[in-house]
Copies of this chain bind each other. A is one copy, B any other.
Amino acid sequence: MDSIKHIGLIGLGIMGKPMGLNLLKAGFSLGVYARHPETAQTLVTAGATFYDSVARLAAEVDVLITMVSDTPDVEAILLGKDGVITQGKAGLLVIDMSTISPVATQKIAADLAKQGIRFLDAPVSGGEAGAIAGTLTIMVGGKTEDFEQALPVLAAMGKTITHIGEHGAGQMVKACNNLIIAQTVVAISEAFEMAKMAGVDLDKARTALMGGFANSKAMEVHAKRIIDNQYTPGFKAKLHHKDLQIVAKTLNAYELNLPASQYVIQAMRQLVEQGDGELDSAAVAKIVQQTAHPKS
């Protein structure tokens, strides 16, 4: 299989722009598309070529990366009537690095395969800082040979790059990540509500808990936010809510009954619905606090 030279990138936002700069820095030829050409300015100045349609970009590259907001955006770009599926040459490798539904991902991969277009799901964690530094964690689903060919491209943007399994497996692990974090924050918040009842100094409690089996990244980072009632983001609640809605739809598609997960999905929705979507998602502790005292 030929090595990759020409890469296309669609989605030039907070994440996509620094990822594109890292691809240029690694020596790839980069073509970009954006609905609003001015958002491509930084990348064009750095050496990227601007394309005025998805179709034209897809026709000319070896690898096409999408980094957009949600499932319908990815579906429109890849499966839409002027999308990649109609214009991508056979053998094109599409890498979707957005965070979208694992179930929709499996269908996208199958539809593209019918046209001879290859697909990897490769969602990331690490945020804007990781995108700029090129140290993203990348979780990949798809065929082993496609993963291996994509590795030099992914290595330009990330550090810990793991091939997890079949199509959708990367998105599934991203969904697990978002779900486990939210539940750990709820667990800590609920325990703190109980602790407050007995004159416990929560800062000291956190220090003691960090020394044992209750420790977690969430205890290190989010518990401090909860104790200080200080929710400057970080990762906004409205984005965590969006990600948990992907989980909700996944549970629905597979007819899974996961009570603790369902509770935290609902709590995060309640937080956003009461107008706190711009806070850090650890503010789900506010919902725990409101729920804790039914008689007051």
- The answer for the CA separation of A197 and B255 in the assembled complex, in Å, is 10
Please name all residues of chain B whose beta carbon is closer than 8 Å to the beta carbon of A137 when the two chains form the complex. Answer: 208, 211-212
Q: Are B260 and A213 in contact (CB under 8 A)?
A: no
B173 and A141 contacting across the interface, CB-CB below 8 Å: no
> Contacting A194 at CB < 8 Å: which of B125, B179, B188?
B179
Q: How large is the interface on A (under 10, 10 to 19, 20 to 34, 35 or more residues)?
A: 35 or more
Find out whether the CB atom of A256 lies under 8 angstroms from the CB atom of B199.
no
List chain B residues, Cβ under 8 A from A187.
179-180, 183-184, 187, 260-261
Q: How far is B207's CA from A233's CA once the two chains are assembled, in angstroms? A: 26
Chain B residues, Cβ within 8 Å of A216: 184, 215-219
A181 CB contacts on chain B under 8 angstroms: 213-214
Q: A168-B198, A256-B194 are in contact. Are A218 and B208 (CB under 8 A)?
A: no
Bound Cα distance A148, B216 (Å): 30
Interface residues of A in 222-262 (CB under 8 A from B): 247, 250-251, 254-261
CA distance A255 to B292 in the complex (A): 8
Chain B residue, CB-CB nearest to A221: B213
Residues of B within 8 A of A168 (CB): 198-199
| Residue from B173, B193, B260, B292 in contact with A195 in the complex, judged by beta carbons closer than 8 Å | B173
Q: How far is the CB of A152 from chain B (nearest CB, A)?
A: 20
A295 to B173, CA, bound (A): 24
- Report Cα–Cα, A209/B175, bound state, in Å: 11
Q: Copy number of this protein in the oligomer? A: 2
Using a CB–CB distance below 8 Å, which chain A residues touch chain B? 102, 106, 125-126, 137, 139, 141, 160, 162-169, 171-173, 175-177, 179-181, 183-184, 186-188, 190-195, 197-201, 204-205, 207-209, 211-219, 221, 247, 250-251, 254-261, 263-264, 288, 291-295
Chain B residues with Cβ under 8 A from A257's Cβ? Answer: 291-294
B166, B183, B204, B264: the one within 8 Å of A165 (CB): B204
**Contacts A168-B199, A191-B179, A213-B125; A288 near B184 (Cβ below 8 A):** no
On whether the beta carbons of A264 and B260 are closer than 8 Å, the reply is yes
Let me know if A180 and B176 touch, CB within 8 A. no
Contact A194 B251 (CB under 8 A): yes
Residues in chain B near residue A251, CB distance under 8 A: 194
Given contacts A164-B205, A259-B291, 12 further A-B contacts (CB under 8 A): A141-B198, A160-B211, A163-B204, A164-B200, A169-B205, A176-B195, A180-B184, A180-B209, A184-B187, A184-B214, A215-B216, A216-B216
